Amino acid sequence: MAQPLLQAADLRGAARLTTDAVAGLASLVEAMHAGIINPPRPRGSAGAAPAAERTRGLTGLVYETVRGVTRLVGGSAEALLGWLAPVLLASDPRQAPRPEREAVVAALNGVLGDHLAATDNPLAITMAFRRAGLPLPLERPALRSGLGGASPRLLVLLHGLCMNDLQWQRSGHDHGEALARELGYTPVYLHYNSGLSVSTNGRILAQLMERLYDAWPVEVERLVMVGHSMGGLVARSAIHHGALLQRGGLRWPARVNDLVCLGTPHQGAALERAGHGIDLLLGAAPYAAPLARLGKVRSAGIKDLRQGNIVSGPATHDGRDPCPHVGLPTGTRCFAIAASLGPQAGNLKSRLLGDGLVSVASALGRHRSPGRRLAFAPQRQAVVRDTGHLDLLSSPEVYRLLRQWLA
């Protein structure tokens, strides 16, 4: 049986959806349903043709009825999400899931993940390590056969907000698989509900990492974590919570050799504070784009992304102050890669937009207050130019740095 998602969780409960957001949920559910049934088709060099946003026949009548009833008497997120569950729930857990299905579920969890978890919705993602979209059983014999020859070099990759583990594959490249080929690492990919608070995910991951460490088929000689965007925050949170639990017997936090953060908003994401960052992430997955309509809804994970919080505190989500500062883990080599849409460091585009979601300063841990800065060593930080937030996943320059640092 899968590990319960909410163990050691400090959720504040489900966030109330506004009336406008709930009324519009039926339409976005229908748009995603239509997109899955009739996916976008290539349209020459101009890009993909947009998917239809309305279903037809009896299905269309059902959605129109739901919208009408919702406008008249209101509705609950639970009832409307029930219409989406049959479309998205996987039928056979032994088969690799469809990437479009995973993209939609991941985006839905990023926007409403705390609500899904608090209401025990079956669409809520349960944290797990996966390969090729399939969960890895954390038992030594099963790992030995499932991984096909695990090496002493363990690489854990953590995706960002509204994303999933399959999206490490971008433009024909996967940093984890490339590091496996060239440097002998065995990559495992974390799949998690990015709508939960970073602190909650960090606490769950701290326990899960210990199980992975115990079950690894060979002695771990090198343990590396690579986090993209929010994934870097979750990794830092897990190491922090794991270190606090070391007295209880956790061994893995002291064995983390390297932590690499790609475009991680250590000091928050300014564009997300303005409410626009979520559109960039959701727009990257055509099947999930309709979720951008939930502009008034902000999960605990999104609120953490605004300030770069990795632990919970009384001021975590008040919109003014971040929670208590946590520095970089001691005993671990920590690296940071920032991206810039502009070609030069000093131009206006580079300073204001960063990679389109995270500023260069935030990704490198810089802060105007000395007490909140993160001490990345100069030789362990880099900026890649003409690169967007999601392009960090396929950038040849990023991979060159990873190969150099982790060799």
| DSSP notation for 233-280 | HHHHHHHHHHHHTGGGT--GGGGEEEEEEES--TT--HHHHTT-HHHH
Instruction: State which of 74-78, 217-221, 387-391 shows the largest mean pLDDT.
Output: 217-221
- Residue-level pLDDT at 110: 85
| pTM (two decimals) | 0.78
Among 348, 385, 161, 177, smallest CA distance to 264 is for: 161
> Which of 292-306, 310-324, 380-394 is the least confident region?
310-324
Q: Give the residue with greater pLDDT, 365 vs 50.
A: 365
- Residue-level pLDDT at 119: 82
Supply the Cα-derived Rg of the chain in whole angstroms: 21
d(CA 405, CA 242): 24
Q: What's the rounded mean pLDDT across residues 15-25?
A: 38
- Torsional sign, CA 205, 206, 211, 217: positive
- Residue-level pLDDT at 179: 98
Is it the case that residue 375 has pLDDT exceeding 70?
A: yes
Q: Which residues pair with 382 in a beta bridge?
A: 337
Is it the case that residue 16 has pLDDT exceeding 70?
A: no
Is it the case that residue 278 has pLDDT exceeding 60?
A: no
Neighbours of 64 (CB within 10 A): 15
Domain limits of the chain? Answer: 99-406
Fold observed for domain 99-406: Rossmann fold (3.40.50)
- Residue-level pLDDT at 131: 93
Q: What's the rounded mean pLDDT across residues 12-25?
A: 35
Strand stretches in 150-262, DSSP E: 153-158, 186-191, 222-228, 256-262
Q: What's the rounded mean pLDDT across residues 183-188?
A: 98
Q: Give the residue with greater pLDDT, 404 vs 102.
A: 404
